[in-house]
Amino acid sequence: MIVKSIKVKSALSKSGLRELDYSLNPYLGCVYSCPYCYAPNFTPNKEASENWGKVVIIKENLLEVLMKEVKIYKKGVVGISTITDAYQPIEALRKLTRESLKVLLKNGFRVSIQTKSPLVLRDIDVLLEYKDRVDVGFTVTSLNNRLEPNAPPARARLRALKKLSDEGLETWIFLGPIIQGINDMEIEDIIREISNIKVRVIFDNFHYYKGLKFKEGSTWWWVSLKNRILENCKRYDIECHEESEDWIYEKRKYYKTF
Ligand code: SF4
């Protein structure tokens, strides 16, 4: 892997995701290089986007810029890891994500972390200090890493998730993308596996982006799978939503109250 550094003019960007106000990505490029990843399409650095999985770029002055922005930007929800995994291995050394969390939380922002890495456990002290303004989600698409061979093992993610949840943090699992004929046969096993964790499940099918090798599933397949997912969640008493449902708007309204 090649590691480079750049200086940035902004740390927070306005988020295009409905449930977030801002996004923060301390690194550009992602060493996990999942085959379904569409993040290169949204990465504003050619070197990182064209060499996905091989180049990671560190935003070396991120904290300095962030400290200025949190004083002038309206408080809101910051999504951590929207176009890269903020807990990929470089974070163990550089700690930009950890320090950014401290700056955001101390200054009244809410953070929503999504990762595939148990390294987030390292920051449990910071997360617990501000636990009413933090949620942590893990992406899980398969119990045997069929779709993410370079990312940390799915069972290690689930152990980390259980620890965070047992400590009283709001946790969730993003069960997706679910791809017809690739990982759809594992979804019910994953739901059974998480039945001992107090966690919310958000699931979604695969959406095609230019250059990806998978196809979107058929409507009949999705409707039938979706019903099975909901039935399984009900059986284990797990709160479960398809990503596009209205609960996201409800969540946003809730976040807007602080
Ligand atoms: S962890 Fe996320 S950002 Fe990184 S390659 Fe996988 S899908 Fe893309």
Positive or negative torsion for Cα 151, 156, 159, 163: negative
CA distance linking residue 4 with residue 48, whole number of Å: 10
Nearest CA residue ID for atom 7, ligand 1? 37
For the CA of 81, the closest atom of ligand 1 is 3
Question: Is the CB of residue 30 below 6 angstroms from any atom belonging to ligand 1?
Answer: yes
pLDDT computed for residue 255 by the predictor: 39
pLDDT computed for residue 135 by the predictor: 97
Residue pLDDT, tens place only, 22-41: 999 999 999 999 999 999 98
pLDDT computed for residue 18 by the predictor: 78
Question: Rounded to the nearest 5 degrees, what angle is found at the Cα of 82, between the Cα atoms of 101 and 97?
Answer: 25
Question: Is the CB of residue 176 below 6 angstroms from any atom belonging to ligand 1?
Answer: no
pLDDT computed for residue 57 by the predictor: 97
Summary mean pLDDT of the chain: 92
Overall domain count for the chain: 1
Distances (CA, A) of 181 to 54, 214, 251: 28, 10, 32
Question: Is the CB of residue 34 below 6 angstroms from any atom belonging to ligand 1?
Answer: yes
Average pLDDT over residues 176-187: 95
| Tokens, residue 17 | 């995701």
pLDDT computed for residue 237 by the predictor: 95
CA distance linking residue 135 with residue 148, whole number of Å: 23
Average pLDDT over residues 247-253: 44
Answer yes or no: is pLDDT of 256 > 60.
no
Average pLDDT over residues 220-227: 96
The type of residue at 246 is D
Query: In this structure, what CATH number is given to the domain that contains residue 112?
Result: 3.20.20.70
Q: Which residue range forms the structural domain that includes residue 203?
A: 2-255
Question: Is the CB of residue 232 below 6 angstroms from any atom belonging to ligand 1?
Answer: no
Question: Is the CB of residue 197 below 6 angstroms from any atom belonging to ligand 1?
Answer: no
